Amino acid sequence: MPALPSFNCKLLTGLLYAATAVGVLKISAKIYGFLSLIVNLFLLPPVDYSKFGAKKGAWAVITGASEGIGQEFAKQLASRGLNVVLVSRTQAKLEEIATEIESKYKVQTRVVAADCSKNTPELYASLYKAIEELPVSVLINNVGRSHAGPVLLEETPDDELENILTINNAFLVKMTKLTIPLIDRTVKSKQAAKGLIVNVGSFAGLFPTPYLAVYSGSKAFLQNFSQALSIELKEKNIEVELILAYFVTTALSAIRRSSFFIPTPKKFVAATLRNMGRRGGAQDRFATSSPYPSHALINYVANNTLGVFSEWIAQSTYNNMKITKAKRLRKLQKQKAAKAE
């Protein structure tokens, strides 16, 4: 067999070296990402909220504050020394929570009863009037709406579809827009060194989720919106963070029992506030965090194996959702039959 020309041998050798170097870099990046996850979530000290005006008279605005994750954000931010504005639909619930917070944490509260599904100028005017004179430094965009159950797009009621898009997207964007000048004013006045806007997202926005297509798409919107806004507001010293959550025991998820992968709202918010601004399992994305440890692990493993846009994951989700839908329909039929008796 004739010997290969020396030029071809050198080229082959160079390609092998290059491929090896690329492989080493990729492996090193994955190892670095995992070590960074461990350091961020377990080794670094908790975030100090004095930079956001805690114990300096600054206020946090929390939407969807009457229950679940939103209520926990209100209580735990108050425990750090921030005054809180509670926004939700039910006045009585808000007043009860506000009384508890004032008594326990010795901060000021304000309640705003507002139906976030009403995308009207009057809604935003009333919200702005309620907070315009306050030194707001933090906005928690927590309020959200999902489907009543797994459903195909063509079977989704129009009012459900419109409510999801209005609450998860239109309301969030407009609430953010009207709050930015207030946060900017607070930072410029030195009452807070930084401002903070938190958008509560979902793994349904990270992974395409069949049978929840509208909800999944509405949460995916938050990724680009949050990242773009974080760059826009960097010069104003306002941080923007998208928080990615897997299942949490809330009314939205309809899960009541917690587990290693499914925390209570209290545990989820505690991890979120402890690690605010740190990527956790979302090592590949800026202005994004997966702060709860088991959720961070799911995010990291999925992203570094099949990938979050894997068709296999989407197909598996579809199969599971199809089963869940059938179970839900059987349960509803039994309830209907029992009422008829």
CB contact at 8 A, 293 and 118: no
Q: Count the Cβ atoms, other than its own, within 10 Å of residue 254.
A: 12
Residues catalogued as catalytic: 215
How far, CA to CA in Å, does 64 sit from each of 68, 170, 338?
9, 15, 34
Average pLDDT over residues 283-310: 89
By the 8 A CB rule, do 66 and 93 touch?
yes
* β-sheet bridge partners, residue 139: 61, 197
Q: Determine the pLDDT at residue 251.
A: 73
Q: Which residues contact 319 (CB under 8 A, 6 or more apart)?
A: none
3-state DSSP assignment of residue 26:
helix
Cβ-in-10-Å burial (0-12, 13-18, 19+) of 168 comes to buried
Q: Give the CATH fold of the 47-308 domain.
A: Rossmann fold (3.40.50)
What 3-state DSSP class applies to 140?
strand
CA distance 257 to 264: 8
Task: Give the whole-angstrom CA distance, residue 36 versus residue 309.
Answer: 23
Q: Order of strands, edge to edge, in the sheet holding 59-63?
A: 109-113, 83-88, 59-63, 136-141, 195-200, 238-243, 288-289
**pLDDT band at residue 111 under the 50/70/90 scheme:** very high
88 is in an annotated binding site: no
Residues in the chain: 341
Non-local CB neighbours of 314 within 8 Å, separated by 6+ positions = 207, 208, 209, 210
Pairing of strands 195-200, 109-113: unpaired
User: According to the model, what pLDDT value does residue 310 have?
Assistant: 85
User: Is residue 245 a contact partner of residue 203, using CB atoms and an 8 Å limit?
Assistant: yes
Q: Which amino acid is at 83?
A: N
In the chain the beta strands, taken as DSSP E runs, fall at 59-63, 83-88, 109-113, 136-141, 195-200, 238-243, 288-289
Q: What is the pLDDT of residues 49-86, one digit of tens each?
A: 999 999 999 999 999 999 999 999 999 999 999 999 99
Flag the least confident range among 3-12, 25-34, 58-67, 148-157: 3-12
pLDDT digits (tens, 9 = 90+) for 136-188: 999 999 999 999 999 999 999 999 999 999 999 999 999 999 999 999 999 99
pLDDT for the residue 2: 55
Check whether 4 has a pLDDT greater than 80: no
Q: What is the mean pLDDT of residues 255-259?
A: 80
Predicted TM-score (pTM) above 0.85:
yes
